[in-house]
Amino acid sequence: MKTNKQKFIGFSLLAVFALVLSACGGSSKEPTPTPLDPNLIAAQAIATFAMGLTQTAFAQPTVTLTLTPAPTSTLAATFAPLGTNTGAAPVNTCDVSVFTFIETIPDGTPMAPGQNFDKSWRLQNSGTCNWTATYKAVFTGSGNGPMGGVSTPIGKIVKPGETIDLIVEFVAPSTPGDYISWWKLQNDQGVFFGTAFSVVIKVVGAAATTATATETVEPTATPTTPVP
């Protein structure tokens, strides 16, 4: 009996010890917390925010914009330059002359150096005013000079539609060569008008020399008195 009782007590102690070991060894330990990476947290937050924007964009309806071209004006703007008068310039119809191409001394006529000659032109009054007798032919300043010519009055009244033969005296230059002189009519106000006309000559040869007369003195006989 005692032996059985001791066995029972020993067995009971073993069982309690086993239960204690089982309770201590079988309990699970709490897991050790893992440290959090700040960069990983920031990346996850950005990804979450971006995913939210994407879902919002997909949730909004898509708007298609249609651009309508503006109408093109076919009218070109026209601007007048500043300071430009677009009106027509007044035309002087009072004093108008036309050269009829009737003349003496045709262009290129040869002349000796220093030779005197007269040149005439036939002009027509094509204006609406009378030319007075004091209207004149005047050298315009163009060409090789006036060649000895001077301003010459027309000398009579010329009515519209009438013609006049205007004559000017010239002297050929002393040096050989081709020469031209341009002339024009001038009214009583000193204003040039009408068609210009010219004299054109060709000086050839040597200049003429002027002989100087020399007085010849005849010897005078001296009377002699006879010696008695």
**What would the 3-class secondary structure string for 149-198 be?**
CCCEECCCCECCCCEEEEEEEEECCCCCEEEEEEEEEECCCCCEEEEEEE
Alpha-carbon distance values, 154 to 99, 135, 216 (Å): 14, 6, 49
Q: What is the pLDDT of residue 130?
A: 97
Residue 137 lies inside a defined structural domain of this protein: yes
Q: What is the pLDDT of residue 14?
A: 66
Residue 30 lies inside a defined structural domain of this protein: no
Residue 123 lies inside a defined structural domain of this protein: yes
Q: What is the pLDDT of residue 73?
A: 53
Q: What pTM was computed for the model?
A: 0.53
Residue 132 lies inside a defined structural domain of this protein: yes
Alpha-carbon distance values, 200 to 62, 85, 142, 177, 197 (Å): 92, 40, 12, 11, 10
Residue 128 lies inside a defined structural domain of this protein: yes
Residue 112 lies inside a defined structural domain of this protein: yes
Range of the domain at 163: 97-203
Q: What is the pLDDT of residue 206?
A: 79
- Residue 179: how many other CB atoms lie within 10 Å: 19
Total of domains in the chain: 1
CATH number at residue 145: 2.60.40.10
* pLDDT greater than 90 at residue 157: yes
Residue 37 lies inside a defined structural domain of this protein: no
The sheet with strand 116-125 has its strands ordered as: 97-103, 116-125, 163-171
Residue 139 lies inside a defined structural domain of this protein: yes
Which pLDDT band, with edges at 50, 70 and 90, does 82 fall under?
A: very low
Q: What is the mean pLDDT of residues 200-212?
A: 74
